[in-house]
Amino acid sequence: MKIISVVGARPQFIKAYAVSNELRKEHDEILVHTGQHYDEEMSDVFFEELDIPRPDHNLGVGSGSHATQTAEMMIGLEELVHRHEPDVMLCYGDTNSTLATGVVGSKEDVTLAHVEAGLRSFNREMPEEVNRVLTDHAADILFAPSERAMNHLESEGIDEYAYNAGDVMYDALLSVREKAVAQSDVLEELNLWDDPYILATVHRPRNTDNSERLETILETLAADERRVILPAHPRTVNRLEQHGLLDAIEEEATLIDPVGYLDFIKLQANADVIVTDSGGIQKEAFFLDVPCVTLREETEWPETVESGGNVLVGANQEAIQDALTNLSHSTSDAEPYGDGNAAREIRGVLEGYDK
């Protein structure tokens, strides 16, 4: 089988880490990086420290409006499909790189596969929700990470070729966890000894682009007596500058550049609590059994909330404070996202697919 896999944003490199190596055991994979993320610490670091195959092509699309970014990716991807004539196009998650692959793949003579299908936040104001719904409806094969995601696909009438493969990020975490704990020096570098700390990330436009929400979140974190470690996404740093909040937060929290996956796993595993609006981090907190406080009103990973280990607080000061004080741990043994063999499952389904 010849497969074009498309990645572009940070979490997709981690997903490809789990899946590309599995596909390459038997198949010819062409890895395409759209260039959506391009800073060293948002992209190269993952290829360097994880055993991810180097992209065969980088479209170099960079940042831009949704339409500009998606359209440029589509032009580049279409050209590569014509050049390589793959059997399968595979995309991950819910970014603009995902949607571009979905639109191109659905109009070409390829089997389009979507990994992380069926997730729904039911909030159409999030660009990710639009991307995931449209890509699911364009794809031929849907790999859902959970039973609930399967149910969403069923209720939308697109479950004929849907499979509950489990979550590929669980595969990735299981495979690097020991290495991260053994090799990462991040705790020493940040002088994080035995004192409890809060690990925070904020990157969703709803939180970063609204100065009131961003200020409330950061001030509430800063008021906590624990140290706050904030590896900041470039979007967040840009907005902190624009809103005039950068100097204040640098005084009150340890604001650092984004870190590599091994360092981030170690930071998560040792945190007293994780505060985030990230999708992937909510899940990693769940897998690592670290309490999570989610800066959103809804989540596409509701199983983490049902487990008791994740609380949705939006940008509400009292709700954040309450969740930081009364840390809630998961009380469930359920494994809603599979057993860490999602990549193998995906390879098997692709090999057996014959529409």
Give the active site residues.
203
**160-166: long-range pairs with CB below 8 Å, 24+:** 161/353, 161/355, 162/117, 162/118, 163/345, 163/349, 164/338, 165/115, 165/338, 165/342, 165/345, 165/346, 165/349, 166/337, 166/338, 166/339, 166/340, 166/341, 166/342, 166/345
Which one, 163 or 264, has the nearer CB to ligand UDP? Answer: 264
**Residue 38 interface partner, choices ligand UDP, ligand UD1, none, CB cut-off 5-8 Å depending on type:** ligand UD1
Interface with ligand UDP, residue 258, by CB under 6 A:
yes
Which residue of 3, 4, 10, 136 would you call a contact of ligand UD1, by CB under 6 A? 10
Interface with ligand UDP, residue 145, by CB under 6 A:
no
Q: In angstroms, give the least distance from the CB of 306 to ligand UD1.
A: 22
Interface with ligand UD1, residue 9, by CB under 6 A:
yes
Interface with ligand UDP, residue 14, by CB under 6 A:
yes
- The answer to whether 41 and 258 are in contact (CB under 8 A) is yes
Interface with ligand UD1, residue 42, by CB under 6 A:
yes
Phi, psi of 74 (to 5 degrees): -60, -40
Using alpha carbons, select from 303, 233, 316, 226 the residue that is nearest to residue 271. 226
Interface with ligand UDP, residue 280, by CB under 6 A:
yes
Q: Write the binding mask 227 to 256 for ligand UDP: x where contact by CB under 6 A, - elsewhere.
A: ----x-------------------------
Structure tokens that stand for 341 in this block: 């063999």
- The answer to whether 285 and 274 are in contact (CB under 8 A) is yes
> Distance between CA 154 and CA 165 in Å, rounded?
15
Interface with ligand UD1, residue 11, by CB under 6 A:
yes
Q: What is the largest CA-CA distance in the chain?
A: 59
**Residue 96 interface partner, choices ligand UDP, ligand UD1, none, CB cut-off 5-8 Å depending on type:** ligand UD1
Given the rule CB under 6 A, which residues bind ligand UD1? 9-11, 36-39, 42, 63, 94-96, 127-128, 203, 233-235, 238
Given the rule CB under 6 A, which residues bind ligand UDP? 10-11, 14, 201, 203, 231, 258-261, 264, 278-281, 284
